[in-house]
Structure 1
């Protein structure tokens, strides 16, 4: 699996205008792309418009990237004139439970980005043993994707999907505590979270 997280800084207030255009125009384009697995978009509570795309593998994701960029420039230039900040990479761990095929507000998303993470061969076993089981066994769990950013090997990301904000926040607190206690990541993560405005799956 390959995950890409796109952050459009300080554009959360525009989500209402983005939803119909993206749902009716962009989501069908994504669904036709080879290897497409899932997509969601949400206004983060700290004020950004954020999207997460999931593909079967990196080659499929890279082929779709050009379409993504072209569609946004052609259809959303008035709302999103600047390119997003992108963090992405091939998943090291992932699990899915009851992802909705369509819908809007059905899930709560948490994106955590850790800076200064150690070598993957040291970090991955710890994440698998302690974090992965905590997330996937938590109440309301819907999905989890962990990856190293392909642009920076010292940056790691995780996308968690839950049924409600309450369950997401409880799981997030446990995970951040585990990451600190086990010294998996030396610094607190940057966190973006919010209720989904768009959800689509293959």
Structure 2
């Protein structure tokens, strides 16, 4: 399994960002083969975190690409700062 994590800081409207992700990005990421889980989390204080888990590395990297395009096209005013992006092999899980 592989995971991709993106941390967004300075989010101007977390509720609207969540709505746009739910309605627009979730259908896109569901199309990526091997998706096991996706989460969009409001961590408070203008921080939001997305986590996607895939069966393989290709899926995780594809999600990073799709997220970048979606943010650019649909979320840029709400997510003014570039995200911190991390990905890697899952080595423990429950």
Name the TM-score, length of structure 1 as normaliser: 0.43
Moved over 3 A (4+): none
5+ long unaligned stretches in structure 2? none
User: Number of aligned pairs?
Assistant: 94
- Which residue does the alignment assign to 2:6? 6
5+ long unaligned stretches in structure 1? 96-202
Greater RCO between the two (CA within 8 Å, min separation 6)?
2
**8 A Cα contact 2:8 2:48, kept in partner:** yes
Please give the residue correspondences for 1:166-185 in structure 2 after superposition, counting only pairs within 5 Å. none
**8 A Cα contact 1:15 1:42, kept in partner:** no
Name the TM-score, length of structure 2 as normaliser: 0.87
Deviation, 1:78, is: 1.2
The whole-number CA distance in structure 2 between the counterparts of 1:69 and 1:91 is: 22
Q: What CA deviation, in whole Å up to 9, does each residue of 1:121-153 have, x standing for no partner?
A: xxxxxxxxxxxxxxxxxxxxxxxxxxxxxxxxx
The whole-number CA distance in structure 1 between the counterparts of 2:60 and 2:21 is: 18
Q: Give RMSD over aligned pairs.
A: 1.6
